[in-house]
Amino acid sequence: MRVALFIACYNDALFPDTGKAVTTVLERLGHTVEFPMAQTCCGQMHYNTGYRREAESLVGAFNDAFRGYDAIVTPSGSCGGHVRHHHETETAPNVYEFSEFLVDVLGVSDVGAYYPHRVTYHPTCHSLRMLRVGDKPLRLLRAVEGIDLVELPEAESCCGFGGTFAMKNSETSVAMLRDKMDNVHITKAGTLCASDNSCLMHIGAGLGRIKSGVRTLHLAEILAATK
Amino acid sequence: MSDEKVNVVWLGSPTFPNAAHDALRDGQLRRNLKHATTTIRDKRLRAVAELDDWETLRLAGSQIKDRVMRHLDEYLLRLEASVTAAGGVVHWAEDADAANRIVIELVRAKGADEVVKIKSMATQEIGLNEALAADGVTATETDLAELIVQLAGDRPSHILVPAIHRNRTEIRDIFRREMGKYGVAAPDDLTDEPRVLAEAARLHLREKFLRAKVAVSGANFACADTGTVAVVESEGNGRMCLTLPETLITVMGIEKVLPAFADLEVFLQLLPRSSTAERMNPYTSLWTGVTPGDGPQEFHLILLDNGRSATLADRQGRSALHCIRCSACLNVCPVYERTGGRSYGSVYPGPIGAVLTPQLVGVGTSKHADSLPFASTLCGACYDACPVRIDIPEMLVHLRAKVVDAHRGEKLPAPEALAMKAARVVFGSPRRLAVAERLGALGGRIAGIRGGRWLPGPAKKWTAARDVPVPPRESFRTWWRKAGRR
Ligand code: SF4
């Protein structure tokens, strides 16, 4: 099986550790990961903001960059969802969100991770309602050694990010963010985990502002951690 | 009572972010909304979980509506023929003004100066009450929540629970202050107990039911094959309006037609569970034309277009017309939960309002309408809840594209349009992206090192409550290349 990492542009620029973690986990499971250098952006942000023409012009390049791979694995629920739903190309059906790939394709839930901390998980909207990953991320987390996984109240409520929504409707976005942060604090978890760094960046930026001390971490980074 | 000008939208409404600014500061509103929406959400989930064929029903509902839209002209003509054959009179109204004129003429012809009304979105959309008032006819809303809104001179904020933004103490005060001005006054010792409030409304309304010669209603469904019109409600006030007055006038959006009476089987299961989380709504009234000696002896059906044909013409937007006004999408919407319905500036609030309003009034016609498709995080909760499976998130994105396209080529493009173009150029080539990432990392680190938690310009909107993420020293692709990987 030829496996490619589709990192998503914002992870490439802002969250390289997530890409490294995905690679670490997959290699630990015995797979070779390739990173097609020609990849850039899937156009999700353009598409969702109404810049459809600009988005469409990126589809061809994505397809060219990932042609020939059996699985294109991404740590971004929203970009994975976008490609699968809106790119009508030969590569689109081969795109898997990270937790889907582990559970559905590789059939594993225990990836040999160790993370001895209290963690709560926020299921991001696009992984939940667009990709329908269900409880796959939770199954992976439950198998982590030493973890104290606590349920997040009102977990399925949106954190208020929504891409450009966070700017265009910043006040509503912040109102939603506040409720999400309150719920995170109720859990007394030291780590907030999610499968998408965009939402995680939003919540993390809010938590940072109020100096809450809660750390945000992508699922892949918890799964990459070992003794 | 209110005399604001309304045609789908309240004319001159501010953009969504501006309206939300005020709503978000209203602590009482926020608490009322949170309480009401979370309660109904859980109830709906339970009601829906009882049916093991729920998803099949949803699919059936969406397919029937799909067929209606594809052959709308045929079904409407069939409906007209059936209603006429059953002794009713059918009128066609191209827009709000035309519909209002028809109602006013019919009321005048009866020599009436007051009408009783059943809660109806269509008559609210065309501003019928205001048009009647301008012509000297008093319209009384008989649905409890609508009555509260009407007495308070308020705008409704929810499709199904128009007074969701009011709690019972506020309602008691409105009744005490206003009821006497329009008829039977509320008793002096009125408390805020629901039973007591309902009794005051009952006494106030009873007098009007017994006196009114004309009733005005909307319609939930109309069956093309039999000409049967259906109204579902909870309180029984509608049943009074539909049986006591001599004349009944129904204003119905053209999209409400169903092919056959048998289709009600699907929708009468979908609607109550989605809207009030009930297995069955307390009152379902069905009538077919006129029955001699029983109920209204004159029945008029006004078929309203008011932007619907134009909506129908857009293949990606037309399924907004599938809506059965259950309001489930409002109740599950995290944006609606914070801002309330009035921020949408339309009689159709919430997610469905964000896709229906701009289509009915036209994309590009006002800043207000153009702001609505952006009033969503695209979280998708509405799609999951919708009993007729309207893909609201996808339609929001479609309408965003229409808004953007309507403003392309403007002399001074918005900063966002420039940013999107620039991003497109950068993402067009991996090399340009690598360079941009290095520059970005540098700039970001400088901002971060300066303690740049507060940024100027448009970014201020982000930093008002959120820190700026500091980019790492090197991007993933740089690390990959340096690590000698392939
Ligand atoms: S769009 Fe769907 S969920 Fe919303 S009110 Fe209409 S039918 Fe109900």
B334 at A interface, C-beta within 8 A: yes
Average pLDDT over residues A73-87: 96
Residues of B in contact with A205 (CB under 8 A): 462, 466-469
Mutate to test the pocket of ligand 1, among B273, B274, B319 (most ligand atoms within 8 A of CB): B274
CB B250 within 8 A of CB B299: yes
A213 to chain B, closest Cα gap in Å: 13
Q: Residue B10 has which token pair?
A: 């309240």
Looking at the domain assignment, is residue B376 inside a domain? no
Record: contact A167-B462, CB cut-off 8 A: yes
Amino acid at B173: D
DSSP, collapsed to helix, strand or coil, labels residue B269 as: helix
pLDDT at B441: 66
B374 at A interface, C-beta within 8 A: yes
Among B265, B281, B308, identify where a domain stops.
Answer: B308
**Whole-angstrom Cα distance, residue A140 to residue A147?**
11
Who contacts B354 (Cβ-Cβ below 8 Å, separation ≥6)? B344, B372, B373, B375, B376, B392, B396
CB B230 within 8 A of CB B266: no
User: Is residue B300 domain-shared with residue B423, that is, in the same domain?
Assistant: no
Specify the residue for token string 């045609």: B7
Using alpha carbons, select from A109, A111, A137, A112 the residue that is nearest to residue A124. Answer: A137
State pLDDT tens for residues B249-275. 999 999 999 999 999 999 999 999 999
DSSP string, B12-59: TPPPHHHHHHHHHT-HHHHHHHHHHHHHHHHHHHHHHHT-TTHHHHHH
Residue nearest to atom 8 of ligand 1 (CA): B326
A8 at B interface, C-beta within 8 A: no
State pLDDT tens for residues B338-373. 999 999 999 999 999 999 999 999 999 999 999 999
B31 at A interface, C-beta within 8 A: no
pLDDT at B412: 66
Residue nearest to atom 4 of ligand 1 (CA): B329
What's the Cα-to-Cα distance from B474 to each of A15, A17, A78, B445, B482, rounded to whole Å? Answer: 10, 10, 24, 11, 10
**Whole-angstrom Cα distance, residue B144 to residue B152?**
12
Strands B9-10 and A33-34: unpaired
Which helix or strand (DSSP H or E) is residue B389 part of?
Answer: none
CB B70 within 8 A of CB B279: no
Q: In chain B, pLDDT over 90 holds for what percent of residues? A: 75
Smallest Cβ–Cβ distance between A12 and the set B24, B476, B486 belongs to: B476
Confidence band of B451 (pLDDT split at 50, 70, 90): very low
Q: In chain B, pLDDT over 70 holds for what percent of residues? A: 94
**B236 — alpha (psi -120 to 50), left (phi > 0) or beta?**
left
Q: How many domains does chain B have?
A: 2
Record: contact A161-B334, CB cut-off 8 A: no
pLDDT at B447: 54
Ligand 1, closest atom to CA B351?
4
Residues of A in contact with B426 (CB under 8 A): 40
Determine the length of chain B: 486
User: Is residue B304 domain-shared with residue B421, that is, in the same domain?
Assistant: no
A95 to chain B, closest Cα gap in Å: 19
Confidence band of B461 (pLDDT split at 50, 70, 90): confident
B461 to chain A, closest Cα gap in Å: 6
pLDDT at B456: 61
Average pLDDT over residues B82-99: 98
pLDDT at B429: 74
**Whole-angstrom Cα distance, residue A124 to residue A79?**
12
Number of H helices, E strands in chain B: 23, 12
State pLDDT tens for residues B36-69. 899 999 999 999 999 999 999 999 999 999 999 9
Looking at the domain assignment, is residue B1 inside a domain? no
| Residue B117 backbone dihedrals phi, psi, to 5 degrees | -125, 145
Which of B379, B420, B473, B475 is the best mutation test for A, with the most CBs of A within 10 A? B379
| pLDDT of A13 over the 70 cut | yes
Record: contact B380-A126, CB cut-off 8 A: yes
| Residue B401 backbone dihedrals phi, psi, to 5 degrees | -65, -40
Looking at the domain assignment, is residue B295 inside a domain? yes
| pLDDT of B316 over the 70 cut | yes
Using alpha carbons, select from B14, B120, B35, B30 the residue that is nearest to residue B343. Answer: B14
Average confidence score pLDDT of chain B: 91
Task: Find residues 77-96 of chain A whose CB sits inside 8 Å of chain B.
Answer: none
| pLDDT of B157 over the 80 cut | no
Residue B474 belongs to domain spanning: 415-482
- E strands of chain A, at which residues? 3-5, 33-34, 71-74, 95-97, 118-121, 148-150, 191-194, 215-218
Record: contact A160-B377, CB cut-off 8 A: yes
Smallest Cβ–Cβ distance between A14 and the set B17, B453, B471 belongs to: B471
Fold annotation for A118-224? Rossmann fold (3.40.50)
B159 Cα–ligand 1 center, Å: 10
Record: contact A50-B376, CB cut-off 8 A: no
Record: contact A14-B472, CB cut-off 8 A: yes
Record: contact B334-A158, CB cut-off 8 A: yes
Q: In chain A, pLDDT over 70 holds for what percent of residues? A: 100
Q: Which of B231-245, B282-296, B306-320, B456-470 has the lowest mean pLDDT?
A: B456-470
**Whole-angstrom Cα distance, residue A174 to residue A172?**
5
A17 to chain B, closest Cα gap in Å: 8
pLDDT at B457: 65
Q: Which of A46-50, A189-193, A199-203, B424-428 has the lowest mean pLDDT?
A: B424-428
State pLDDT tens for residues A39-69. 999 999 999 999 999 999 999 999 999 999 9
Amino acid at B33: L
Confidence band of B32 (pLDDT split at 50, 70, 90): confident
Looking at the domain assignment, is residue B402 inside a domain? no
Smallest Cβ–Cβ distance between B465 and the set A12, A13, A177 belongs to: A177
B288 Cα–ligand 1 center, Å: 26
Average pLDDT over residues B192-210: 93
| pLDDT of B450 over the 70 cut | no
What's the Cα-to-Cα distance from A30 to each of A7, A99, B28, B103, B324, rounded to whole Å? Answer: 20, 16, 57, 75, 52
Amino acid at B285: S
Smallest Cβ–Cβ distance between B427 and the set A17, A41, A170 belongs to: A41
Specify the residue for token string 């004349």: B247
**Whole-angstrom Cα distance, residue A193 to residue A97?**
15
ipTM of the assembly?
A: 0.95
Confidence band of A222 (pLDDT split at 50, 70, 90): very high
Q: Which residues line ligand 1 (CB under 6 A)?
A: B 274, 323-329, 352, 385-388, 390
Record: contact A129-B383, CB cut-off 8 A: yes
| DSSP bridge partners of B90 | B301
DSSP string, A40-55: ---SHHHHHHT-HHHH
| pLDDT of A187 over the 50 cut | yes
Record: contact A16-B475, CB cut-off 8 A: yes
pLDDT at B391: 97
The chain A residue lying nearest B377, using CA atoms, is: A162
Average pLDDT over residues B445-467: 66
Q: Which of B122-131, B164-173, B442-451, B453-462 has the lowest mean pLDDT?
A: B442-451
Average confidence score pLDDT of chain A: 96
Among B285, B308, B331, identify where a domain stops.
Answer: B308
**CATH number of B221's domain:** 3.40.50.10420
End-to-end CA distance of chain A: 29
State pLDDT tens for residues B35-45. 889 999 999 99
pLDDT at A144: 98
pLDDT at A140: 98
Among B241, B274, B308, identify where a domain stops.
Answer: B308
Using alpha carbons, select from A65, A72, A128 the residue that is nearest to residue A96. Answer: A72
Q: Considering the entire predicted model, what is its pTM?
A: 0.92
User: Is residue B238 domain-shared with residue B103, that is, in the same domain?
Assistant: yes
Rounded CA Rg of chain B: 26
Confidence band of A221 (pLDDT split at 50, 70, 90): very high
Confidence band of A81 (pLDDT split at 50, 70, 90): very high
State pLDDT tens for residues B1-22. 555 678 999 888 999 999 999 9
**Cα dihedral across residues B190, B196, B198, B202: positive or negative:** negative
State pLDDT tens for residues B117-140. 999 999 999 999 999 999 999 999
Count of alpha carbons within 13 angstroms of residue B160, beta-carbon side:
25
State pLDDT tens for residues A83-121. 999 999 999 999 999 999 999 999 999 999 999 999 999
State pLDDT tens for residues B225-249. 999 999 999 999 999 999 999 999 9
B176 Cα–ligand 1 center, Å: 35
Angle between helices A52-66 and B392-407 (to 10 degrees): 120
